[in-house]
Amino acid sequence: MKHPHWPRRVFAQLLLSQTVVTVGVTVLTAGLFLAPVSAELDHDAMQRALSIAQATAGDETIARAAEVRDAATAQRNAEQIRTATGASFVVVTDLDGIRLSHTDPGRIGQRVSTDPEPALAGRSVTAIQEGTLGRTARGKVPLRVADGRIVGEVSVGISDDSIRRRLLKMLTGILLCAGAGLTAGTVATLALARRLKRRTHNIALADISALLVEREAMLHGIREGMVALDERGRIRLANDEAGRLLGLPEEFAGRPIDEVLPPGRLADVLAGRITGADLPAVRDDRVLVVNRMATAEGGAVVTLRDRTELESLVRELDTTRSLTEALRAQDHEHANRMHTLLGLLELGRHDQAVAFISEQSGSHAAAVARIGERVRDPHVAALLAGKAAVAAERGVRLAVAPAAHLPDAVVDTRALVTVLGNLIDNAVDAVAPGGGGQVAVTLVAAGSTLLAEVADSGPGVPAALSERVFEEGWTSKDAPAHRPRGLGLAMVRRLVERTGGRIVLDTGPLGGARFTVELPEALHDDPPAAVAPAPPVPAPPVPAPLVEAR
């Protein structure tokens, strides 16, 4: 149960707790220091009393007086020694322990209050004892005459009051030192508490715990990847989505970006070597949009958005838009053909009208049929037919080479469609601005290996740029407003290399660029012995003169 009066703010709790700890440590230290000091003072007092007793016992006059029990002489000399040394008492006794001297003359002739036997037996004794004069540090020695006979004892005492006075003198210095330490500790605690107050924005301790729990829930609950980096570029934390998008290993905390990611644009963007907003990058077959924000401590927070599906949808939208434009043009062309057919009928040239209809209806169907004969995979055939329609609308002739042959045995149709689609799009873009260009597609199966070639009649790619065209974000075209450029070829290369294949760029027979892709294990080793005829490939109607599939 929380104490109702305990402060909630972090800095206040720290200040209070550290002050209590500092005071406690100071008091404990002072106590631990005073305990041995008090014992040492008692020991010093006993040694001093013993020294005075030994000096007194060395006085022959006092020894002779004790032998003959001359109290007056013993009292006179003992008091002189007591006054000179500052002792509390100097008591001389005979062999029976009867006092021959005392600070109180009325006690002379009485037996001493403490046991004299050890000293009378010849031993020197030191002790803290309680006597008629209170608590004293005592030293007792035997009193001997010149021939060595023991004739009594000498007992000297140093009062406890004198010991306390010495202790109090030392205590003042100790307390001053303890106070200085306590003040320094309090000032340091206050400075630390103020700094912590600024760093924690003066929030309550319970709020910090709640913020940490909420942060964990937020980081792992959002559908965007988030990576926090320290000032050295090492990963401090990453949520589940970031681990999935980047393919991070299990032990990624504390490791630099360049250790967990392969060299490339993505690593450069995360490390801050490439700056900007909404930077596109590719990781395997995923298109990511990366934003990096620096923190006040020198680190950074990186957000990652997966645009793979969006990029695919944008490409489909572009294709649909192109097909729509093609249909509009074909509608206009269809109206022209209907007018031509109507004119022939009105002129009574029925034979020419029949020939015109046969020619128009059969040319495009034959072109699509030829694609289906050479490309038996329905998905790839449909892609080629659709791309042919889009290319025809832009004034580009797309041709499938007569030697092309692709059986219906593709292992990963989606990856092959992605590779061919990007390469054909780039080829059409390269020759479309001038119109009348050509794009040639060749597909050849060699066992389980597939060789794909896309060549165009465009301006080509300079040899110096043959590797740079595969870099993420690099493009020679103007990017449209709805999506970034420079990702298609990078994605194609990643897909090809991930399957163990390779892609080569050189100059083709049409005079422009030629991309040759080799995909090992892309076809099933044992395709069906008898492949059923491929179903007709649906394709949008296009003007026959613009499409050719050889």
Let me know the angle formed at the C-alpha of 74 by 71 and 80, rounded to the nearest 5 degrees.
135
* Residue 404 is assigned to a structural domain of this protein: yes
In 3D space, the residue among 81, 32, 289, 52 whose CA is nearest the CA of residue 156 turns out to be 52
Q: Examine the fold and report which residue of 305, 324, 354 is the final residue of a domain before the chain moves on.
A: 305
Same domain, 271 and 390: no
385 plus 511 within the same structural domain: yes
Query: Looking at the domain assignment, is residue 419 inside a domain?
Result: yes
- Establish if 437 belongs to a structural domain: yes
Residue 140 has which token pair?
């007792």
Domains of the chain: total: 3
Residue 463, both tokens:
């040899």
The helix/strand/coil state of 439 is strand
Q: Nearest to residue 135, comparing CAs of 163, 112, 115?
A: 163
Residue 171 lies in a domain: no
Residue 182 lies in a domain: no
Same domain, 389 and 295: no
In a shared domain, residues 233 and 145: no
Q: Are residues 157 and 17 in the same domain?
A: yes
Q: Are residues 377 and 268 in the same domain?
A: no
CB 230 within 8 A of CB 299: yes
Structural domain includes residue 203: no
357, 294 contact by CB (below 8 A): no
Give the model's pLDDT for residue 141: 92
Instruction: Mark whether 251 and 373 lie in a shared domain.
Output: no
Q: What is the pTM of this model?
A: 0.44
Which CATH number characterizes residue 251's domain?
Answer: 3.30.450.20
In whole angstroms, give the CA distance from residue 368 to residue 354: 22
Residues 153, 53 within the same domain: yes
Of 166, 183, 207, the one marking the end of a domain is 166
The pLDDT score that the predictor gives to residue 37 is 67
In 3D space, the residue among 165, 161, 41, 168 whose CA is nearest the CA of residue 89 turns out to be 161
Q: For residue 215, what pLDDT is reported?
A: 67
Both 373 and 516 in one domain: the answer is: yes
Containing structural domain, residue 256: 222-305
Does a structural domain hold residue 183? no
| 233 shares its domain with 129 | no
Q: For residue 534, what pLDDT is reported?
A: 42
Using H for helix, E for strand and C for coil, what is the string for 127-188? EEEEECCEEEEEEEEEEECCCCCEEEEEEEEEEHHHHHHHHHHHHHHHHHHHHHHHHHHHHH
Residue 516 is predicted with a pLDDT of 93
For residue 311, the tally of other CB atoms under 10 A from its CB is 19
Same domain, residue pair 137 and 228: no
Residues of the chain with pLDDT under 70: 1-15, 30-38, 161-171, 174, 196-197, 199-221, 285, 309-323, 325-334, 358-368, 434-435, 472-487, 525-550
Cα distance between residue 426 and residue 470, in whole Å: 12
Question: What's residue 201's pLDDT?
Answer: 63
Residue 361: inside a domain = no
Verify that 300 and 381 share a domain, yes or no: no
Rounded Cα distance, 390 and 327, in Å: 10
Query: What is the CATH number for 532?
Result: 3.30.565.10
Last residue of a domain, one of 122, 146, 166: 166
Beta-bridge mates of residue 225: 304
